[in-house]
Structure 1
């Protein structure tokens, strides 16, 4: 088994050695130590699943559109389409577990819910760009409209899905009733952040080299490395000690949560190389979302001023990936009246804002309360 992971300086094996070298006596025959090792070995092959029953209703290229029938409400309200981020992780971020499911929050409020599952890119789709993801988003919207007979739908974007939803709404304003943008980088220069600093200082040739090394696709393992590098102590040391402590204390619920999250977090997906490079260029290096008509998709100039529908913007107080200033800046570039723009600041970080228990219970419930007024 290969114990060395992508960090270079820390590995699970390093943590294992430190446990053995700590002040407490640990026998190599200790069943707790064996369990610890077995868990880490199993996590070398991560897997993840959806938690709520659903049906696949459309598959095209890297799009897999899923419908989550609402068993609580047969005559569901205006449909909701959720765009999870295509950032190397699985799209079931929107339906992570029975207790942490944005899908189920919308179900409780009587909505008909759809989610775009973005599939890992193969070399066949290496040349898909941002315009193709907007095209695929429109295919999803059209499928929802056709199935429901509702002309305008609610569009919810999480992180990268947030700026994607914003671009889509600016290009197809007549199809969207309400836009929700959660933890999405809109004005990356609004305040400093590690990921923006990295993207702006690193020469574009470095990013091109990474794409080339993946035969034209950006490998998810590289994206995961980038996220981990922003909190190296947490991802390469502390969490493994927490697991050891939970095993020693017999904290079975904690162990279960640890395994569930690691399976989701370590499960990576590839992005089309062109799509990835266009994101680096337009979103992070040139900050083009803040510059009306600075780039075009499918022959149409992108201008967020075309957005005039009610907008809900969410951001996390402790978000180190997309600081609140970058997310809330959306209100400065749209035409929606100030009275129709709702800002929600969560207590969590990036992932916590998108799928944390507290955020789903408090903040996403507030989103649903607002959406009720837009019916």
Structure 2
């Protein structure tokens, strides 16, 4: 068998990697609606801090926070002795089409209460990645007493602080267009629609260059490169559907109305979301080359919270969106600073 045929056969088994693959041993300790709460086993617990990771709900699996054995935020946190949990949002079924932002915040509260019950802690740390960042911020503004520290990474908090293609996309189309997309999905927003939208932003990269790069790896017998391709392919191409009501509320309230910095736009359980209610230590992590969430969209949160300036840490990586969330460089250089913040930062730092 020649080199090309050998590697082509190897590539064809791309589907052998499970689509909902978590690289670290864990146990589902809570399951409700479209949420699974995963608890990760820590053999050398040395910290009294418990951390809940809220991964993005943007059409892909939550396992981005535990992407691979050598590229895992979960494993990094465990290596420092932290007690680690993650929300694993499931693809929405048609009977879950009416789940709202409020429902997701209430589910997050269920997860926090489960962690408090298991650990005996009064408050925990929240880490919100991308879309999970605004969810973590909403939650903390409502339940500050349950959150000791808040970490927001590559998240659209002030959506108009710095424009990118997402602003044009949201501004150029009326709500009727997004409602039509949900109707096409039978009441849910199809993850495949979201994926096609991201690909249309850079069609050359997604439809030409990545295959050129793959062909080069095949010719060079680059098994490690092909393995990385398979891993990313399975995460990126395997999509999840979002509840239609949740998706439409996000488009209207988080994006069009920039509701995270406009109190009264988002109301949860009859209470207005106001970031000034957040007073705990805050760590903001943004990516210099992030073309999904430009850095200012995240970093401007510092000007809207009640946390004293001296208790706010702002860090910008050299990477892009995914690189900031789970890239090897960010995990080695920047996320350990987050751990130091969790372990050592106090209200009076």
With normalisation by structure 2, the TM-score equals 0.96
**What is the Cα deviation at residue 30 of structure 1?**
6.1
Is 1:62 matched with 2:62?
no
Is 1:363 matched with 2:334?
yes
SS at the partner of 2:156? coil
Task: Indicate if the aligned counterparts of 1:159 and 1:183 stay in contact, CA closer than 8 A.
Answer: yes
Task: Indicate if the aligned counterparts of 1:36 and 1:244 stay in contact, CA closer than 8 A.
Answer: no
Q: Unpaired segments of 5 or more residues in structure 2?
A: none
SS at the partner of 1:275? helix
SS at the partner of 2:49? strand
Task: Indicate if the aligned counterparts of 1:191 and 1:325 stay in contact, CA closer than 8 A.
Answer: yes
- In structure 1, what is the Cα distance between the partners aligned to 2:101 and 2:184? 21
Which structure 2 residues correspond to residues 268-279 of structure 1 after superposition, within 5 A?
Answer: 268-279=239-250
Aligned to 2:4: 32
Aligned to 1:315: 286
Q: 1:221 to 1:44 in 2, by over 3 A?
A: farther
Q: Decide which of 161, 171, 178 is 2:149's aligned counterpart.
A: 178
**Structure of larger gyration radius:** 1
- In structure 2, what is the Cα distance between the partners aligned to 1:46 and 1:30? 28
- In structure 2, what is the Cα distance between the partners aligned to 1:203 and 1:126? 21
Aligned to 2:43: 71
Aligned to 1:4: none
Aligned to 1:295: 266
SS at the partner of 1:77? coil
- In structure 2, what is the Cα distance between the partners aligned to 1:202 and 1:172? 34
Aligned to 2:296: 325
Q: Decide which of 221, 226, 230 is 1:255's aligned counterpart.
A: 226
Is 1:127 matched with 2:98?
yes
**What is the Cα deviation at residue 46 of structure 1?**
7.3
Aligned to 2:170: 199
Task: Indicate if the aligned counterparts of 2:101 and 2:249 stay in contact, CA closer than 8 A.
Answer: yes
Task: Indicate if the aligned counterparts of 2:3 and 2:218 stay in contact, CA closer than 8 A.
Answer: no
Q: 1:129 to 1:62 in 2, by over 3 A?
A: same
Aligned to 1:13: none
Task: Indicate if the aligned counterparts of 2:42 and 2:81 stay in contact, CA closer than 8 A.
Answer: yes
CA RMSD of aligned residues (A): 1.7
- In structure 1, what is the Cα distance between the partners aligned to 2:281 and 2:26? 28
Which structure 2 residues correspond to residues 94-243 of structure 1 after superposition, within 5 A?
Answer: 94-243=65-214
**What is the Cα deviation at residue 272 of structure 1?**
0.1
SS at the partner of 1:319? coil
Q: 1:370 to 1:78 in 2, by over 3 A?
A: same
- In structure 1, what is the Cα distance between the partners aligned to 2:253 and 2:18? 32
Task: Indicate if the aligned counterparts of 1:46 and 1:266 stay in contact, CA closer than 8 A.
Answer: no
- In structure 2, what is the Cα distance between the partners aligned to 1:68 and 1:45? 20
Q: Deviations over 1:114-170 (max 9, x none)?
A: 000000000110000100000000000000000000001000000000000000000
- In structure 2, what is the Cα distance between the partners aligned to 1:65 and 1:45? 22
- Count of paired positions: 346
**What is the Cα deviation at residue 333 of structure 1?**
0.7
Is 1:80 matched with 2:51?
yes
Q: Deviations over 1:6-56 (max 9, x none)?
A: xxxxxxxxxxxxxxxxxxxxxxx9661574377368459972400000000
Q: Unpaired segments of 5 or more residues in structure 1?
A: 1-28
Q: Decide which of 25, 29, 47 is 2:19's aligned counterpart.
A: 47
With normalisation by structure 1, the TM-score equals 0.89
Task: Indicate if the aligned counterparts of 1:292 and 1:302 stay in contact, CA closer than 8 A.
Answer: yes
Task: Indicate if the aligned counterparts of 2:4 and 2:218 stay in contact, CA closer than 8 A.
Answer: yes
Q: 1:45 to 1:218 in 2, by over 3 A?
A: farther
- Higher alpha-carbon deviation: 166-175 or 289-298: 289-298
Task: Indicate if the aligned counterparts of 1:43 and 1:262 stay in contact, CA closer than 8 A.
Answer: no
